[in-house]
């Protein structure tokens, strides 16, 4: 039964996830500069994703083959799309060129 | 060409060692993981790439549009989405409890935890459907809305709709697993695999919640 934890361990992860969610709502409610808020929200979001995949889905105790398949495939695709598309989209009002 | 034709002879017929035959008949684990579980992980990877593409497409149209609407105010939208998040996160914990009970051989307990997970999923679907109805009542459609860029409705309904479909399919899937595992027709690995699917649904919501409601 590799990777399973005690009841207490799972509820602790749940508590951390809730705490991160509340922190994210607080960040949204504060009037922080947009870049800072986005950076903090993205960091909290990735932490939550890591906790869910690592502890609830037990990815950290899976074989290396599965771990690398999941991590590399999703992160490389996301990074490729972000760096390919977002700089172009940030050209202000780009979609106005296509009525 | 079957495995028996590949190795050894016996009375004019070729014979394979039991271990090799087991691999050829699907009983082996070439990547040190069961074939059903491997299949679910590969499905999750492909589905994650689909959702990544949709979320990045949403980000693109958002930053490229001058008048992107932001209709999700703290109350009631963010509060409601937070309650939906609470339901999904809690259902993930009940799902790991189900997997744990299944591994320990407690079939009735596992079925009960799966039932609690299904309730969390149903509560999420009901709240989300109410939100959809409210947005539609306010005039949001796939290609128009009262506030700004018409692409808002298309991106919101596409992403949340695809996610809600996953949740609905997950609830049905878990119901089948609970019934079959409870009656002894499935083993604990099947519960674990259904758990992977359910946690993935929760994982996708973490991204949708952040990108749509908070940023």
pLDDT at B11: 40
The candidate with the shortest Cα–Cα distance to B196, out of B70, B40, B71, is B40
Nearest to B203 among A53, A62, A82 (CB): A53
Among the residue ranges A47-56, B27-36, B112-121, the one predicted with the least confidence is B27-36
* CA geometry: angle A66, A68, A73, nearest 5 deg: 105
The A residues from 23 to 82 touching B (CB cutoff 8 Å) are: 24-25, 27-29, 37-38, 41-42, 44-45, 48-49, 52-53, 56-57, 62-63, 65-66, 69-70, 73-74, 77-78, 81-82
pLDDT of A9-41, one tens digit each?
Answer: 999 999 999 999 999 999 999 989 999 999 999
C-alpha B105: how far from chain center: 25
Mean pLDDT of A72-85: 88
Helices B151-182, B188-208: inter-axial angle, 10-degree rounding = 160
Residue B7's pLDDT band (cuts 50, 70, 90): very low
pLDDT: is B59 or B130 the higher one? B130
Q: What is the residue whose two structure tokens read 């509820």? A: A11
> Are B151 and B77 a contacting pair, CB within 8 Å?
no
pLDDT greater than 70 at residue A96: no
Residues comprising chain A, all counted: 99
**pLDDT for residue B17:** 52
Print the SS3 string covering B110-145.
HHHHHHHHHHHHHHHHHHHHHHHHHHHHCCCECCEC
Query: Which pLDDT band holds residue B9 (cuts at 50, 70, 90)?
Result: very low
Residue B145 in this model has a pLDDT that exceeds 80: yes
pLDDT at A93: 60
Candidates A7, A38, A52; nearest CB to B92? A52
* Least confidently predicted of B23-32, B89-98, B203-212: B23-32
Averaged over B106-114, what is the pLDDT?
A: 96
CB-based contact B113:B97 (threshold 8 Å): yes
Block residue for tokens 């149903």:
B122
The two three-digit tokens of residue B68, written as one number: 């992107």
**pLDDT at B184 exceeding the cut of 90:** yes
pLDDT digits (tens, 9 = 90+) for B151-181: 999 999 999 999 999 999 999 999 999 999 9
The pLDDT of A61-73, averaged and rounded, is 90
CB contact under 8 A, A74 and B32: no
Please calculate the CA angle B55-B39-B106 and round it to the nearest 5 degrees: 105
Instruction: Compute CA distances A16 → A12, A59, B49, B208, whole Å.
Output: 6, 18, 26, 19
What is the chain A residue with the closest CA to B77? A25
Over residues B123-131, the mean pLDDT reads 97
């Amino acid at each position: 039964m590799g990777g399973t934890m005690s009841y207490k361990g799972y509820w602790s992860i749940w508590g951390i996830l809730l705490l991160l969610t509340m922190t994210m709502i607080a960040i949204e409610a504060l009037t922080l500069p947009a870049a800072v808020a986005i950076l903090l929200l993205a960091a909290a979001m990735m932490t939550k994703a890591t906790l869910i995949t690592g502890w609830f889905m037990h990815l950290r105790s899976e074989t290396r083959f599965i771990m690398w398949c999941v991590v590399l495939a999703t992160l490389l695709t996301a990074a490729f799309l972000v760096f390919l598309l977002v700089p172009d989209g940030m050209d202000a009002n780009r979609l106005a060129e296509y009525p | 060409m079957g495995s028996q034709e590949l190795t050894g002879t016996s009375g004019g017929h070729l014979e394979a060692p039991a271990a090799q035959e087991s691999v050829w008949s699907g009983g082996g684990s070439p990547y040190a993981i069961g074939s059903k579980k491997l299949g679910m992980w590969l499905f999750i990877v492909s589905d994650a790439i689909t959702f990544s593409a949709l979320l990045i497409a949403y980000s693109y149209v958002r930053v490229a549009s001058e008048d992107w609407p932001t209709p999700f105010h703290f109350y009631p939208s963010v509060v409601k989405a937070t309650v939906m998040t609470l339901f999904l996160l809690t259902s993930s914990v009940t799902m790991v409890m189900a997997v744990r009970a299944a591994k320990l051989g407690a079939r009735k307990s596992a079925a009960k935890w799966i039932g609690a997970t299904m309730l969390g999923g149903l509560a999420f679907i009901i709240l989300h459907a109410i939100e959809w109805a409210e947005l539609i009542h306010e005039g949001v459609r796939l290609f128009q809305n009262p506030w700004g860029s018409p692409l808002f409705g298309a991106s919101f309904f596409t992403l949340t709709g695809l996610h809600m479909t996953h949740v609905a399919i997950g609830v049905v899937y878990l119901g089948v697993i609970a019934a079959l595992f409870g009656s002894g027709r499935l083993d604990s690995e099947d519960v674990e695999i259904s758990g992977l699917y359910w946690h993935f649904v929760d994982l996708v919501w973490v991204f949708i919640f952040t990108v749509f409601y908070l940023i």
